[in-house]
Amino acid sequence: MIPVHAHIEVAVALPVFQTFTYGVPEDVSDFIATGKRVLVPFGQRRITGYILGSTDRLADKDIKVILDVLDEHPLFPESMIPFFKWIADYYKYPLGDVIKTALPGGLNIYDFVSIAISEKGRQALSEGSVTPLEGKILQHLTSGSCRLRDLSKSLNHAVPSALIQALIGRGRITKIRKLSGGTTRTRTQRYVTLTGADICLSRRSVAKQKIIDLLNIEGEVSVKALKKRVPSAPALIRSLEKKGYVSLRQKPEYRDPFGETILPEAAPVLTAEQQVVVTRLCGQLKGGFHSFLLRGVTGSGKTEVYMQLAAEAINKALSVLVLVPEIALITQMERRFRARFGDRVAVLHSGLSAGERYDQWRRILDKQAAIVIGARSAIFAPLEDIGIIIVDEEHDTSYKQESTLRYNARDLAVVRAKLNNCLALLGSATPSLQSYYNVYRQKFTEVNLNERIEKRPLPKISVIDLRQSRDARGIRRFITPELHREMAITLERGEQVLLFLNRRGFASFPICASCGQALRCKHCDISLTLHQKANAYRCHYCGFTRASSSSCTICGSSRVKHLGMGTEKVEAAVRDLFPQASVARMDRDTTTRKGSILALLKGVNDKTIDVLVGTQMVAKGHDFPNITLVGIICADLSLSFPDFRAGERTFQLLAQVAGRAGRGDVPGRVILQTYNPEHFSILAAQEQDFISFYSQEIEFRKALGYPPISRMIQLKISGKDKHKTKAHARLLGDLCRDLKSAGSASFSKVAMMGPIEASLPRIAEHYRWQILLKCENTRVLHEFLGCLVAEHPTQFANRGVKTIIDVDPYFIM
DNA sequence: AGCACGCCGACT
DNA sequence: GTCGGCGTGCTC
């Protein structure tokens, strides 16, 4: 508790690295608490800040006083502040912005400038002593004040700011600062009860009597519920209230993101292997920080292990955080957890509305939910007394946020576990090299599930060499005769087929048959992709679209050849080969609508879909019990990326997608088509042998000094002006070089690659450069970055050229 | 981020 | 000589 008349430390949600001290007036001091938000004066503005605690650190300048306390209860527990501070320091991101990223959105209040007409202005307007534009502005303002920013737009005429200044100077308009935002709040319901007063009504209608009877039986009932049974209830209640027979009150209500109720389910008997893992980890609950890597083959029952660990944690009054890579998988996980733990489960993911998200947040804070299941951002769930943090499919790249605060939720899970003195459990059939390297360095303890449940065999994987394969007429087919035959057999038996190709669209390389030029995006240095369903060429980087009938921009010819393939082309080929089969496609183009993924998954489960064609989306952890054949159309696409993790991603993707086969009673089979059958990533995926893959890949990383042997930081430099961007990249490169030689002696160990032009040099009209910093010693690398940012803050705040610091980058293109 | 201040080119 | 362009620095 902060003493009366205290000073508080406040972080503001702006790109400002220091925190600020504010005074608290006596009359609100009782409402101050760490984790609440305050409205504070900041320069000319009023903005939202987060209370970090009391402070006796006084600034040299006059200290301002807070304007308001915005929350009745804290939005995050005090115990999370060290976590926020760690993130701010590690990712070189302003603390207030870190907290803003962590909290549910739509809560903050900010102000904006608005102008209104004054009495003098009205006079001038009626006298007509105004210029035409002045008149237009004043006339517009007679119907109410207007946001200054929107004035030009709503008048459809450019307004010089000098004119506004002049009008203010002559007192014809006034400038006001209005508050906006903070629209997400607790939703309340009106509830009715009988007051107990004797009811004597002159005319007792049937409806009124029904309401009174219901209230007599059920006590307190919401108006909404009454209205369902008696449509005229709201009006009748109003009249009953006027007479003092009933009383109304507002009660907070949690918005329900769960569509349907789920029947409770008892825990199954564990396999011997599962039991070993559960016993091992349960023994360490409450035993301090420790990280485990659970390596379990696809279909080995990792989720059941998670659930039994959660049950044990809850028994010990500890909370549980479960991270899952994406929404479709969260839904699966959430259903199983809710069947076991009922309403003690909260979910946090981007599929929730702002209100639902806020309510889930409040349920966690109110300790109504002790288990949180969510995507990446759920790492910020406001839990206290955490027993275990579980990261399912820990190798999944979607744990890395690729915008604003570029954190990796899997890494943060380990950090949060350490700060909370609890367990971290990372699970995967195909662990990241980073995590397995941590096992090797004894930072993590490995636990294993080597068998599929009910001893189902792993699918048999046949490799087809695309260089050799020809059909009967000697023509190369992307659905090879071998795959075609297997598909026919599988469909004949009434089983399902999954086809995987890691590229969406119809053709990824449209090329002009007259001049040989590729059709390129207007805004990016990239080839367009033909989307036949949408009748358009699309840029996958900026969203630029051209009609599919358009001709070559270079020579004007309309003869465009469609080279390269995507899931649309595969879908079309399957429809052609198997006209009687029902074919569905699952990729980003078919799953943008809310609920569309679930509809597709339901179609697979209900067997209304015979063949599912998809991108990596289908590889991720889904349980498809009736799929017995998986066809990998071309395993090489991810292998050819100019990125040192291409082999790792390929292995993970192939092993994961192969793992979708044979999860039911019938054994699975996989056809893997490739131009590189002897590549070790593909051979290891064929054998589903992670250790073999790891031991070869780690040698390659060692030889080149890449992660996980070293750590990397990437400076991503981008700007609209080609030359300014290049010049700024060069300048930053010089500063790094200077720091290496002139800074601390250990800085010589930091290797710098670049500045070089990015491999995608222009995206969305922005020119891109990059500098890669690499060092085997994480601490030295971060000290280096710390010095660089501290010594040259203005270089990172260059207005014309943006510099993004990506710590532990994942995609370095 | 957004607002003020300040220093140079093009207008009365 | 001023007006206004945007580059720089600061916000308890």
Tell me the per-residue pLDDT of A269-282, one tens digit each, with 9 for 90 and over: 999 999 999 999 99
A495 vs A570: CA distance, rounded Å: 19
Q: Which nucleotide is nearest to A43 (CA to C1')?
A: C11
How far: A43 CA to B5 C1' (Å)? 14
Q: Check residues A633 and A596 and name the one with the higher pLDDT.
A: A633
Q: pLDDT category, A202, cuts 50, 70, 90?
A: low
- pLDDT tens column, A237-251: 898 888 888 999 988
Rounded to whole angstroms, the distance from the CA of residue A163 to the C1' of nucleotide C5 is 16
Please compute the mean of the pLDDT values over residues A249-266 and round it to a whole number: 82
What is the Cα gyration radius of chain A?
31
The protein residue nearest C8 (Cα–C1') is A794
Q: Which residue is nearest to nucleotide C10 (CA to C1')?
A: A43
Name the residue closest to C11, CA to C1'. A43
Q: Which two tokens stand for residue A739?
A: 């720091």
C1'-nearest nucleotide to the CA of A7: C12
Between CA A811 and CA A268 the distance in angstroms is 41
Distance A474 CA to C8 C1' (A): 69
- Tokens matching residue A387: 């027993």
* The pLDDT of residue A156: 76
Nearest to A583 by CA among A608, A609, A604: A609
- A685: Cβ–Cβ under 8 A, 6 or more apart, which residues? A461, A635, A650, A651, A654, A655, A658, A672, A693
The CA distance from A810 to A400, in Å, is: 7
Q: How confident is the model at residue A161 (pLDDT cuts 50, 70, 90)?
A: confident
Contact residues for strand B with beta carbon within 7 Å = A 14-16, 43-45, 110, 112-113
Q: What is the mean pLDDT of residues A230-240?
A: 88
pLDDT reading at A462 higher than 80: yes
Model confidence over A749-777: pLDDT tens digits? Answer: 999 998 999 988 999 989 999 999 999 99
What mean pLDDT is predicted for residues A606-616? Answer: 92
- For residue A62, give the nucleotide whose C1' atom is nearest its CA: C12
Is residue A411 within 8 A of residue A291, CB to CB? The reply is: no
pLDDT score, position A259: 73
DSSP A602-625: HHHHTT--SEEEESGGGGSS---T
Write down the pLDDT at residue A4.
44
Residue at the smallest CA–C1' distance to nucleotide C7: A799
> Å between A803 CA and C6 C1'?
20
Contacts of A627 (CB under 8 A, 6+ apart): A495, A496, A497, A498, A604, A612, A660, A661, A662, A663, A664, A668
For A788, the enclosing helix (H) or strand (E) is: helix A778-791
Q: What is the pLDDT of residue A253?
A: 83
pLDDT of residue A421: 97
pLDDT at position A774, please? 96
Calculate the dihedral angle through the C-alpha atoms of A201, A205, A210, A215, rounding to the nearest 10 degrees.
-30
Spatial distance from the CA of A166 to the C1' of C2 (Å)? 15
- Peptide bond between residue A707 and the one before it cis (omega within 30 degrees of 0): no
- CB–CB of A646/A635 below 8 Å? no
**Strand nucleotide closest to residue A148 (CA to C1'):** B2
A716 CA – B1 C1', rounded, Å: 21
Nearest residue (Cα to C1') for C6? A799
| pLDDT in the model for residue A776 | 95
Q: Which residue, A481, A393, A458, is CA-closest to A670?
A: A458
The dihedral sign for the CA sequence A548, A553, A558, A562: negative
A718 CA to B11 C1' distance (Å): 36
pLDDT mean over A454-467: 88
Q: A279 CA, C11 C1': separation in Å?
A: 55
Instruction: Say what the pLDDT of residue A3 is.
Output: 47
Residue with the two structure tokens 């009933």: A246
Phi and psi torsions of A519, nearest 5°: -75, 120
DSSP label at A505? Answer: S
pLDDT score, position A681: 95
Q: What is the mean pLDDT of residues A136-151?
A: 86
- Listed in sequence order, the residues at least 6 apart from A620 whose beta carbon sits closer than 8 Å to its beta carbon are A325, A326, A328, A329, A393, A396, A656
Q: Which element (helix H / strand E) includes A418?
A: helix A409-419
Mean predicted confidence (pLDDT) in A308-334 = 94
Residue A60: predicted pLDDT: 67
The integer distance in angstroms from the CA atom of A92 to the C1' atom of C11 is 20
Q: How far is CA A575 from CA A115, A572, A582, A691, in A?
A: 61, 5, 8, 39
Distance CA A93, CA A800 (A): 20
Mean pLDDT of A90-112: 95
Apex A123 CA angle, A118 and A124, nearest 5: 95
Q: Beta partners for A347?
A: A373
- Using CA atoms, how far apart are residues A300 and A294, in angstroms rounded to an integer? 11
Contact A164, A143 (CB under 8 A): no
Instruction: Look at residue A709 and tell me whether its pLDDT is greater than 90.
Output: yes
C1' nearest to CA of A13: which nucleotide? B1
Average pLDDT, chain A: 90
Mean pLDDT across the stretch A513-518?
85
* Distance from CA(A162) to C1'(C3), angstroms, rounded: 9
Positions of strand C less than 7 angstroms from a protein CB: 3-5, 7-12
Q: Each residue of A473-502: pLDDT tens digit?
A: 878 888 999 999 999 999 999 999 999 999
Residues A408-422 have a mean pLDDT of: 98
Quick check: helix, strand or coil at residue A729? Answer: helix
**Among all strands, which nt has the closest C1' to A149 (CA)?**
B2
* pLDDT higher than threshold 80 for residue A152: no
Q: Residue A544: what residue type?
A: F
Q: Is the pLDDT of residue A59 over 70?
A: no
A794 CA from B7 C1′ (Å):
19
Q: Nucleotides of chain B within 7 Å of a protein C-beta? A: 1-4
CA atom of A810 to C1′ atom of C11, Å: 35
Q: What predicted TM-score, i.e. pTM, was given to this entire model?
A: 0.92
SS3 A27: helix
Closest C-alpha among A285, A302, A301 to residue A293: A302
Whether residue A708 is preceded by a cis peptide bond, meaning omega within 30 degrees of 0, is yes
Closest alpha carbon to C1' of B3, residue: A44
Residues in reach of strand C, judged by a CB distance below 7 angstroms, are A 14, 16, 18, 20-23, 40-43, 59, 61-64, 160-162, 165, 794, 799-800
- Model pLDDT, residue A527: 87
A685-690 long-range contacts, CB within 8 A, separation 24+ = A685/A461, A685/A635, A685/A650, A685/A651, A685/A654, A685/A655, A685/A658, A686/A461, A686/A463, A687/A461, A688/A297, A688/A458, A688/A461, A688/A655, A688/A658, A688/A659, A690/A295, A690/A429, A690/A430, A690/A431, A690/A436, A690/A655
Confidence of residue A2 (pLDDT cuts 50, 70, 90): very low
CA distance linking residue A766 with residue A769, whole number of Å: 10
* A799, closest nucleotide (Cα–C1'): C7
Does A132 have pLDDT greater than 60? yes
Least confident residue range of A395-399, A739-743, A786-790: A739-743
Share of chain A above pLDDT 90, in %: 57
Q: How far apart are CA A383 and CA A365, in angstroms?
A: 7
> Straight-line distance from CA A406 to C1' C6, in Å?
31
CB A316 within 8 Å of CB A240: no
Give the nucleotide nearest to A44 (CA→C1'). B3
A286 has pLDDT over 60? yes
> Distance between CA atoms of A366 and A481, rounded to whole angstroms?
60
Least confident of A230-234, A593-597, A787-791: A593-597
Q: How far is the CA of A16 from the C1' of C11 (A)?
A: 9
